[in-house]
Amino acid sequence: MGKELLQEGILVRGQSCGVGLALCRRLLEEDGRIHLCIACRNEQKSEATRDLILATHPAAQVSTVEMDLGNLASVLRAARELRCRFQRLDFIYLNAGIMPNPHVNFKALWHGLLTGRVLHMLTTAEGIMTQTDRLNGDGLQEVFATNLFGHFMLVRQLQSLLCGNEKPSRLIWTSSSNARESAFSLSDYQHAKGQESYSSSKYATDLTSVVLNRKFNDQGLYSSVVCPGLVMSNMTYRILPVFLWKLLMPIMWLIRFFAKTYTLTPYNGAEAHVWLFKQKPEYLDSLVKYHSCTSGLGRCYVEPRKMDVDEDTAEKFYQKLLELEEQTLEKYHDLLD
């Protein structure tokens, strides 16, 4: 297949449902000339998602690529295919993520209610959400591999499509208000020993974005971080039984009058992603996370908040990622050009 000359080449990872699918539709509403390349874990999911997008935007340019971020061989194969297919990519939305076996600590939630911290806990999940993790087929912690390292490897492998173009290219990482320094440790950056692997991986995402800006802004590559807020998606429905969520929904709509990050719908959750699509990256703050927010009356808007990241820690973490990348490329050298 020959390389494609694109008006806007946009790769979206993690869009078979939820925020990702809403993002694809909203991007096409902003500019119907863009070429969307959607990446899912398998061909069936990719094609099903493409059909959903074309059902509402029949004239859209939509292609697919198979990519499982939890499988590094799959990431390298997909990157090789994308390098053959495209001359440049204007945006990569790094939206995929997993939260395996989430558990609510109801004792901690009750304590938060008694101490007046319940609203903070409900908007950040701090202290009330734990997860159990496991090793994947590459010998990496599954959450770290899927939420962060697979994305990192993809970006590194697509660097030739992102750097040195006539206009800037953009990375948009989906982070979380649950990204906390207290859950992350340089000595255990894959979070093998803790029970907050999701929070750790999202804090690692924030660190990575900060360093990428320092390394690649002068080559025309800019990185931003967003938080979609609390969205009712497949990931959310795994935390509590669906019937319980349905009982809680009227309460959650009321909470939104006090907690603006209760975006609740995928459309609302994609607000910051779409807002960044329309911004000039040179004027954005690399130390800010852009939060999708929704008022109690349903108005969507974006709120920038300074990230709690230590730039020295970010640099040290980046070096660890480079070391892990080197080990990976040695292992899968047959998948490189």
DSSP string, 139-205: SSBHHHIIIIIHHHHHHHHTHHHHSS-SS-EEEEEE--TT--GGG--GGGTT-SS-S-HHHHHHHHH
Q: How far apart are the first and last CA of the chain?
A: 16
Our answer to whether residue 198 is catalytic in this structure is yes
What is the C-alpha to C-alpha distance for residues 186 and 196, in angstroms, rounded to an integer?
15
Please pick, among 93, 198, 222, 290, the residue that the annotation labels catalytic. Answer: 198
What is the C-alpha to C-alpha distance for residues 300 and 277, in angstroms, rounded to an integer?
16
CA atoms within 13 A on the CB side of 116: 0
Q: What does DSSP assign to residue 3?
A: P
Beta bridge partners of 290: 226, 304
Pairing between strand 221-227 and 288-294? parallel
Q: At what angle do helices 150-157 and 311-331 cross, to 10 degrees?
A: 80
What is the C-alpha to C-alpha distance for residues 301 and 9, in angstroms, rounded to an integer?
26
CB 38 within 8 A of CB 12: yes
What is the C-alpha to C-alpha distance for residues 305 and 312, in angstroms, rounded to an integer?
20
Which residues are the active-site residues?
198
